[in-house]
Amino acid sequence: MSELTAEHAWADGAWHRDTRLRTDAPGGAAWALPGIPNLHSHAFQRAMAGLAERQTNPQDSFWTWREVMYGFAAKFGPQSLRDVAAMLYAEMLEAGYTSVCEFHYLHHAPDGRPYDDPAEMSLALVEAAREAGIGLTLLPTLYMTGGFDGRPLAERQRRFGHDVDGYLQLVDRLRTHQAHTLEEGLLQVGVCFHSLRAVPEAAMRAVLEATRGQSMPVHIHIAEQIGEVQDSLAVRNARPVEWLLDRMPVDLRWTLVHATHLTEQETRGIAGCGANVAICTTTEANLGDGLFPLKTFLEAGGHWGVGSDSHISVSPVEELRWLEYGQRLVARRRNIAVLPHLTSTGECLYAHALAGGARGTLQPVGWFDGADATAPGTRADFLVLDDDAPELMGAECANAVDRWIFSGNRNLVRDVYVGGRQVVAGGRHHAREAIASRYRKTLQSLLAS
């Protein structure tokens, strides 16, 4: 291994001077920071970004968008999923994401029949992540019913479905694959419930019991839309997060995706049990979902990170910036995401994205301990900012992170390393040309059909 010397390297919430980082290529950097985990992804949806922006109903909402998404999802097979995911993961790396949670529910053929290998679609994602060089937390998703009332899956949902036994067999198969993957621990498998409306209580309990004691993250969509909250109240006489905290052993293994519509008691309840929240600001805005109660959650000591979800944006900077801006628009004040001991908005946003990302992905974050850049048990996942960019000229430790996040829309990430291996140089993924060529052909085929 070679070494990269960073004039300024971020770790443990502060800048450290003249730090050496183990890499596969020697070099230097003015500003080096741990890469950001992406807590929530539906990879196939990247291919439909911008294709659901025409009004189809005066009451357009998440629920009408979902019908468009179902039609697009029906077009995918293993190869097209791999091609789209590889392009997306390369884009993520170029933007500064170094690991991703893939919330995966396209399990079967479009007509609902399992592939000869029931893990074929999952393994297509594993191969895409391997090719791109990103850390992958694969979350095979249990999807059983079409609503809180237990109705069967609709025709276009059939390819998502499993019974509990079939789902656990898939998880076991992927865990075995993980155990035989030797690429510096870049694959982690977790368990995942699509939502409370899609997984009955008994099934959730059976999966949690079967995986008890295993080092696996647990993810679930929850309280994303007002309609979901209303349906939960009507059928279960409880709000979704209220019900979950009361009925399930929610703890620091759990990541609640969106959790947009919360009472103050629910907000503090999530923080109190140690659970994590995946906030997907650009998708939540695109779908008209609502705004997460960030200030209350911060004051309660809550843990959170960001995800790009439907990938109408693939930029951690945009997720963080618009998370803060949404709060400002509601509060009509500035610098909301701060804490008494951390008054830089950018640093507070970034520090939470790292810490919450580590919880949700179970992937390493923070690539050295104290002054030792080569500490055992760490993984050198980091990005280097472009110090020649006008936005960063004259930057100092006191303002470098703020200037990165709040200085505009140009990507300021120059280089990216995962496990010490350089995957992005000069802002470009090392395999972009080959990956983009396949993606272009696949997208043309998807759109033509």
Report, as residue numbers or ranges, the catalytic residues. Answer: 258, 309
Read out DSSP for 397-439?
TTTHHHHHHHS-SS--EEEEEETTEEEEETTEETTHHHHHHHH
Rounded to whole angstroms, the Cα distance separating 151 from 225 reads: 19
Rounded to whole angstroms, the Cα distance separating 449 from 159 reads: 18
Quick one: 256 exposed, middle or buried, by C-beta within 10 A (0-12, 13-18, 19+)? buried
Rounded to whole angstroms, the Cα distance separating 331 from 345 reads: 15
Structure tokens given for 74: 């029906």
Read out DSSP for 255-306?
EEEE--S--HHHHHHHHHHT-EEEE-HHHHHHTT-----HHHHHHTT-EEEE
From residue 370, give the alpha-carbon distance in Å to each of 17, 24, 115, 374: 11, 22, 48, 10
Quick one: 104 exposed, middle or buried, by C-beta within 10 A (0-12, 13-18, 19+)? buried
* Terminal Cα-to-Cα distance of the chain (whole angstroms): 47
What is the number of alpha carbons within 13 Å of residue 285 lying toward its C-beta? Answer: 18
Residue closest to 97 by CA, chosen among 186, 37, 143:
37
**CB-based contacts of 368, cutoff 8 Å, min separation 6:** 9, 11, 19, 21, 374, 375, 378
Structure tokens given for 56: 């189809």
Q: Beta-strand (E) ranges in 173-243?
A: 187-189, 191-193, 218-222
Rounded to whole angstroms, the Cα distance separating 437 from 440 reads: 5
Rounded to whole angstroms, the Cα distance separating 140 from 143 reads: 10
